[in-house]
């Protein structure tokens, strides 16, 4: 297992180099003078020269790339052109908000999707099987923006059960330590703020997690049906083992390998694709942060935001690969 982990970590090196090259090249792929493009047509020659000097655009390409990598290794992601704030400091609360929202959405997707898939396979061709797969089909076909707007209309405007916007109560802000409000509210002993944070996560989390939930449910059902037809499952049934222990004690572990692939891909997709959901719910996460950067042509922020999201995506895939090896030790020898 240790050799497998080391081998997988070494494989990350070329991936990280490729990611840094792509994100670094973003500014250089802009047609014309990047400084002119960033500052706009009304920029003065002095302002353009100052920005070129600050971004190191007068240096050769590989020298610029070396300085960029050196800055990354020291934790320097550059400075926002709009706010004049170091991006490494500015990005933390937005990244924490997106991580919290993504994991809430994936927790919803995994809990509902896996259990729906298991029960559908267990009760194949029953009313529950047909109903859950119909809901999964509707869920995977439903546009996220339409579902988000319907949620706001029904649960926020008509029923007034849940807040429609934001991440916390602006009149009683959470005292931030980690910028993960669920953790910060527990650290400060404020269970009322913990519940308020949960309420702000429910609508965007369900909107974001509905499509992954539907995909996970269908994948779990398919994988479980295949495992339940295996010889060792038939042997367990012949021995009189209770159906509950057959499913959760023997079949589920083997059926989870293809489901883990879906979970890993969907988590990475949610981290990078939450722009629409965060914009509809005015949720101050990475999607909202990137939207503001794109609107203001803040290229260093766009560059760093893409790099951070790509890095998290790579780390999630690494975790999924390590879970493969844990679920099926034969993977160590491949």
The confidence score (pLDDT) of residue 199 equals: 92
CB neighbours (10 Å) of residue 1?
Answer: 11
The confidence score (pLDDT) of residue 266 equals: 79
The confidence score (pLDDT) of residue 30 equals: 66
Residues 6+ apart with CB under 8 A from 24: 64, 65, 68, 303
Q: What is the pTM of this model?
A: 0.81
The confidence score (pLDDT) of residue 201 equals: 93
DSSP conformation letters of 35-79: HHHHH-TT--HHHHHHHHHHHTTTS-HHHHHHHHHHHHHTT---B
Cα end-to-end span (Å), the chain: 12
Residues 6+ apart with CB under 8 A from 113: 136, 212, 213, 214, 215, 216, 217, 220
The confidence score (pLDDT) of residue 10 equals: 82
Return the structure tokens found at 281.
């719910």
Whole-number Å distance between alpha carbons of 23 and 309: 11
The confidence score (pLDDT) of residue 332 equals: 57
Q: How far, rounded to the nearest angstrom, does the alpha carbon of residue 19 sit from its chain's CA centroid? A: 17
The confidence score (pLDDT) of residue 109 equals: 92
The confidence score (pLDDT) of residue 194 equals: 92
Backbone angles phi, psi at 157, to 5 degrees: -85, -50
Which residues of the chain have a pLDDT value below 70?
Answer: 27, 30-34, 37-38, 272-273, 329-334
């Amino acid at each position: 297992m240790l050799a497998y982990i080391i081998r997988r970590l070494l494989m990350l090196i070329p991936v990280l180099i490729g990611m840094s090259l792509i994100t670094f090249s973003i500014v250089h792929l802009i047609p014309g003078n990047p400084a002119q493009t960033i500052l706009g047509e009304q920029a003065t020659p002095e302002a353009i020269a100052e920005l070129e000097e600050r971004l190191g655009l007068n240096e050769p390409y590989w020298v610029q790339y070396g300085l960029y990598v050196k800055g990354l290794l020291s934790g320097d992601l550059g400075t926002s052109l709009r706010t004049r704030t170091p991006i490494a400091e500015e990005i933390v609360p937005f990244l924490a908000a997106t991580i919290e929202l993504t994991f809430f959405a994936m927790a919803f997707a995994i809990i509902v999707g896996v259990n729906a898939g298991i029960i559908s396979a267990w009760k194949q061709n029953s009313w529950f099987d047909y109903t859950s797969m119909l809901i999964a089909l509707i869920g995977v076909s439903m546009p996220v923006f339409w579902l988000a707007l319907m949620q706001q209309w029904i649960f926020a405007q008509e029923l007034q059960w849940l807040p429609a916007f934001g991440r916390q109560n602006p009149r009683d802000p959470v005292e931030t330590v980690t910028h993960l409000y669920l953790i910060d509210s527990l650290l400060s002993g404020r269970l009322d703020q913990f519940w308020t944070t949960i309420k702000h996560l429910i609508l965007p989390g369900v909107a974001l997690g509905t499509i992954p939930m539907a995909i996970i449910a269908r994948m779990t059902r398919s994988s479980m049906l295949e495992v339940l037809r295996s010889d060792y499952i038939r042997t367990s049934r012949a021995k009189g083992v209770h159906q509950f222990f057959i499913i959760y004690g023997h079949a589920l572990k083997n059926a989870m390998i293809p489901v883990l692939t879906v979970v890993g891909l969907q988590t990475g997709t949610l981290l990078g694709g939450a722009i629409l959901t965060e914009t509809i719910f005015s949720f101050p996460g990475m999607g909202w942060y990137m939207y503001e950067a794109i609107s203001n042509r803040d290229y260093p922020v766009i560059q760093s935001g893409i790099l951070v999201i790509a890095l998290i995506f790579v780390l999630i895939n690494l975790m999924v690969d390590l879970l493969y090896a844990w679920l099926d030790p034969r993977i160590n020898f491949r």
